[in-house]
Structure 1
Amino acid sequence: MKKVLFSLAVAMMITIFTSGMNETSAAASVHTVKKGDTLYKISQMHKVSVTNIMKWNNLKSSLIKPNQKLRLVKPAKVASSTSSKKSKLPSRNDDGVVKEFTVSATAYTAHCNGCTGVTKTGLNLRKNPDLKVIAVDPSIIKLGTKVHVEGYGYAIAGDIGSAIKGNKIDVFIPNKTRAYQWGRKNVTIKILD
Structure 2
Amino acid sequence: MKKLLLNVSAAILVTFGFTGMASASPSTYQVKSGDTLWSIAKRNGLTVQQIKSWNKLTSDTIKLSQVLKLAPGVQKNAPVKTAAAKPAAKQGAFKELTMTATAYTASCKGCSGITATGLNLKKNPSIKAISVDPRIIPLGSKVYVEGYGYAVAADKGSAVKGSKIDVFIPNKSRAIKWGSKTVKVKVFY
Q: TM-score range by the shorter chain?
A: 0.5 to 0.7
What is the deviation of 1:167?
A: 0.2
Name the CA distance, whole Å, in 2 between partners of 1:152 and 1:61.
21
Tell which structure's C-alpha radius of gyration is larger.
Answer: 1
Question: How many residues matched?
Answer: 135
Counterpart position of 2:93: 96
The answer as to 2:179 corresponding to 1:170 is no
Name the CA distance, whole Å, in 2 between partners of 1:31 and 1:120.
21
- Structure 1: gaps (5+ residues): 1-29, 34-38, 44-52, 90-94
Percent sequence identity is: 49
Match of 1:148 among 136, 140, 144: 144
Name the CA distance, whole Å, in 1 between partners of 2:124 and 2:107.
13
Name the CA distance, whole Å, in 1 between partners of 2:49 and 2:172.
23
User: What is the SS of the residue equivalent to 2:98?
Assistant: strand
Name the CA distance, whole Å, in 1 between partners of 2:156 and 2:120.
14
Normalization by structure 1: what TM-score? 0.58
Q: Give 1:96's aligned amino acid.
A: A
Counterpart position of 1:183: 179
More helix by share: 1
Name the CA distance, whole Å, in 2 between partners of 1:120 and 1:172.
13
Contact 1:133 1:158 in 2 (8 A): yes
Match of 1:133 among 126, 129, 135: 129
The answer as to 2:115 corresponding to 1:105 is no
Name the CA distance, whole Å, in 2 between partners of 1:74 and 1:136.
28
**C-alpha distance 59-125 of structure 1, shift in aligned 2 (>3 A):** farther
Q: Give 2:108's aligned amino acid.
A: C
Match of 2:114 among 103, 118, 127: 118
Counterpart position of 1:32: 30
CA-based RMSD: 3.3
Counterpart position of 2:155: 159
